[in-house]
Structure 1
Amino acid sequence: MFSAVHGPTARKRGALRLATVTAVSGLVAVGAIATAGSAVADGKPAASSSGAHATLEDAHVKVGATVDIVDSHGVKSSPVGGLFELKVDNAGVIQTYCIDLNHHTVENSTYKEVTWAESSLAGKAEAAGKINWILQHSYPSVVPDKLGAGLTKETAAAATQAAIWTLSDGVTAMPEDAAAAKLTKQLLKDATAAKEPKASLAFDKDAVSGLAGGEVGPLTLHTNATKAALALAPGAPAGVQLTDKSGKVITSATDGTEVYFKVPAGTPDGAVKVTASAQTKVPVGRAFISDGKIKSQTFILASTSDVPVNAVATAKWGTAPAVTVKNDCAKGGLDIAVSNKGSKPFEVVVLGKKLGKVPAGDTKSLFLPLAEDTTYAFDLAGQHFSGVLDCKTAGSGTPTPAASTPASKPSPASAGGSSTGTNGNGGTNLAETGSSSSTPMIAGAAVALVVLGGGAVFFLRKKKTAGQ
């Protein structure tokens, strides 16, 4: 895992820069880890890619102010809390708040839209619902003038972030500004649980399987768009077509449509991808997690605009099972659903662990426990899966300490802002550290060293700023 935090300093103009690279040894020991985030391995069908995808080009808070925090360990800090901006692929920006206080923000990290169950909100239904309510009734959904006297967009954003952190991370968070503190208290008092928003665009499974000569499927499409275009990937075998449940050939679909693949008899065993695409507003309240290329803080959507979204899934015919893999944050691992349409049992082995057998003609969900922050990459039944298990927050009891902070006294990570707090031992809070934009290059070098048997590699550079 490669982590760093990047943020401006409120009371100091200089910046401390820190780049820390650590090798994750658990999966390396079994030879299973690879550079995460690859869409395809050796030409094999990749796991589903759903919804909006975006990049955190600048890890600073764009709109915010100082928030005083006391975590469950009694550690105090004062990061800048507020809105981040994510650049959506081939589109504009969306704004988000942090729901993962203790983890680093990493410049140029990439994000994907997921369900609450796949994020740090898993198992926190009431808190997640209240956060969603707060997003609908605070800044930027509501202008500062309507939220209270004396508020600016910066202090309104800080007030909203403080209320969200209180619920998402189990900390005591309050803005330094008096008007903002009043708003935070009011939001927490009034919040009621709102339902989880629907996906902007997603298939219900990563893959489906069947036999040539019939219809393979179905995949169920979920979207808030009026309609999504459907297309088979180039190179699909002759005669393979997309149909609805009545057998009618389709090139588009609406929410709830069941999509099938018509595969002519005699077609050699194979697979093909289908892509759904649309232009829509991603619903406020959707979670965004780093896609595993670079580990970074988890966000929740606060404002949106029309952006391109897509979903990709795979159809397979022949003896190879169809596999769907999702983060199960409630249990702390991966949920691996296997549909075996073949004539023989299929033994599921992931990262060197035998999880069980799926009988012929049967479907089973198997569970692979993983440690928090584990980066995973593996192939199963001809499909490739990669990502990172990012489920816990500072309030979970397993906080991630800053590199300069003793492990016994962890400090919450910056929301991309500044901190004036101390860790109780005279050390610098995590919110006072920063990373350079060269983090991905350093991470790549570290992976190469691990592969060569170099073991754990640590690189640390501190540069004092003027006047410090």
Structure 2
Amino acid sequence: MNGKNLRMPARRLATVATATALAAGPAVLAAAGPAYATGDEGRASAVVLRTGLDVSLLNKTVNVPLAVSLNEVQAPESAEKSTLTAQLNGVDGGKPFSVLSAEVASSKATVADGKAEGYTNLAHAKVHVPGLPLLSLIEVGQVTSKATCEAGKTPTASSNLLGDVTVLGKKVTLTAGGTTKVEVPGVGDVRLDYSKTETASRTAAATALELKISVNPLKLNVADVQGTLTLAEATCETPDAPAQEADPSTGPSTAPGTGSAGDVKPQGESADDGLAETGGSSMTPYIAGGAVALLVVGGGAVALTRRTRG
């Protein structure tokens, strides 16, 4: 009887272990499968030149909006442009009017592998406005802007200026993040903001130069130009992190000997580990052995008494 009682806990544990493995099976398969992430894939943009000007001709009898953009690109789909001139028609006696000319004028926007980036490069550029065909509104050596938004990282934005900057024929010194005002009597005035950058938790933007223009040469009202002009702008928005596949080695395991609840202990382990959950004790083998010895001694005594009586 004692032998049967000692073996019952092992059978019960085996049953519990089998039920636990069957219950855990679907959970293990689910944990080993790939995890997919969906959401915003990110955005980026870049533009070399953008104007928002109002041009009044012949004492404001003719109003012409000067809305021009050069090499404006946007992503998710990668894009790149490098047109070197921007022209406007209908403001110079019917002839094409050159707003911008440059040796280098490129813009690029990309979104790939959890990273969105906009980049603009403008070098040896001259900008003209109607009414000043011979005098450049602004001339720059080189300006660049870059905005980078990468999943898991803080967005960054920067603008750089190399070489001289000339506004209405005057060389000027610009301060990053500051405003410079240039006034030319009889011509007009220009306010410049250099290296304007903005960053947030998921977005970034950089503008190399932003000009606020008020030009009316000699107050003749032949061409009165008012508005804003932007050079070298880049923006981005952070995409979601790329999808990651779950590592099967990190999921729950039902392999024998891993020590999970309900596992059957292999032979050779200490008795107290295997019987702890059934209410048994580490003294059980000794008690059982003692009981067997008492039975043997008792049986011998009975036999001796019978012989004596006979």
* TM exceeding 0.5: no
Please state which structure has a larger fraction of its residues in helix. 2
Higher Rg: 2
TM-score, length-scaled by structure 2 = 0.30
Higher RCO structure, 1 or 2 (CA under 8 Å, sep 6+): 1
Please state which structure has a larger fraction of its residues in strand. 2
TM-score, length-scaled by structure 1 = 0.22
